[in-house]
Amino acid sequence: MRLVSMVLCCSALLSLASQSAAVFSAEVNVYSARQEELIKPVLDEFNASTGIRVNLITGNADELITRIASEGRNSPADLLITTDVGRLYRAKQQQLLQPQSSELLQQAIPAHLRDEAGYWFGLTVRARPVMYAKGRLSEADKAELSDLTAERWRGRICVRSSGHIYNQSMVAAKLAHDGTAATEQWVRGLVQNFARPPRGGDRDQIRALAAGVCDLAIANTYYLAGMINDPRDQQAAASIGVYWPEQDGRGAHINISGAGVAVHAPNPAAALQLLEFMLGENAQQWYAEANHEYPVRPGVAYSEALQSYGDFTADTLPLERLGELNAEALRLMDRARWR
C-alpha cells in the first residue's frame, strides 16, 4: 500500500510540475507594424493578467508579411498586427493567416470592420477627414471630398504621396462607391489642386497647413490629436479644424488597425486569447486615450481630443473592399501622376 501511495504521490507531483511548466512556458509571438510604445503597454497588461509571455517584433508591415512568408512552416509568428486593412488583406491573399471563430470578437467588432471568414479583425478605427486652417477658412467652406476638384481649391490642398496605403485605401473606397471613371476624374482634379508635390507624412501636411502652405489637408485625426499633446506642435495643431465630409451620404472614410492569427502559429490559442484581450473594454479605452484612435468596440469613450472634433457618421463599406481594390487604386493614382 505504501508503494502504491508513493507512486500516486509522485505521479501527482509530476503532473503538477508539468502543468506549472506549461503555464510558465506559455507565450505568444507578435509581429507588429505598430511602434512599440503604441502597443507594448497593452501587451504588458496581458502578460500580467494571464501569465502568458509576449515576444514582440516590430517593423514595416510589408517587411513583416514578407518575413512570415519566407519563414514558412517554421515561422514563430503567432499574431500579425498592422496599421491598415490593406496589409491584412495582402496577408490573407498570400495565405499567411488562419481563420478564427470567436463569439467575443463577433460581438465586439461591427461586421464591416472584420473579415467575414474570420481571417482578420479590426482593433481600432482610424478616420481620415478634411482639415482646414481656422484663421483662413471656416467649417462653412464645406470641403466635401467631391468638391476638392473645384477651381476654388487650385493650389490649396496638401496630402501625402500615393505610395502610402492610407491614400490608396481612400481612393479604393471611392472606387467601390463611384466606379473607375468617376474616381479617376476625381483623382486627376485633386492632383491639379495640390499646393505642392506630396512629401512627408500626415503630420507634415498638418504643419504645412498651419504654416500657410495650403488651406486644406487630408490626414488622419490621431496625428492631429497627438500634435495637440506635443509641446513642439501644440501651436500649429491648435490652428487646425476638422471637417467631416460625406455626412449626408456615405459617411467619412475610415480605416483600421487590425490583426490576424498567423497560418503556422505555434501558439494559436494564446494568439486568439491576446486578440480577444485587445478587444476588451480596458484595452480599447487605453487605445482611445493613449493613441487617440476610435475604439472598434461600441460604447467605449473617445479621448478628449477626439471628442473635440465632434461626432461623425462613418462609411460602413466592408473594409475587405479596400484590399480588393488596392491595385486598381494605385494604378489610377499613377496615371493621374499623384506621386
Binding residue positions: 222-223
Known binding positions for Fe cation: 222-223
| Contact criterion met (CB below 8 Å) for 233 and 227 | yes
Sign of the four-CA dihedral 201, 206, 210, 212: positive
The DSSP line for 247-268 is TTTT-B-EEEEEEEEETT-S-H
How many other β-carbons are positioned within 10 Å of the β-carbon of residue 26? 16
Provide the 8-state DSSP code for 212.
T
- Alpha carbon of 16 to those of 8, 10, 12, 50: distances in Å? 12, 10, 6, 18
Helix (H, G, I), strand (E, B) or coil at 31: strand
What would the grid cell of residue 153 be?
A: 481649391
107 backbone dihedrals φ, ψ, rounded to 5°: -75, -35
| Contact criterion met (CB below 8 Å) for 16 and 3 | no
Residues in Cβ contact with 299 at an 8 Å cutoff, skipping those fewer than 6 apart: 281
The amino acid at residue 254 is I
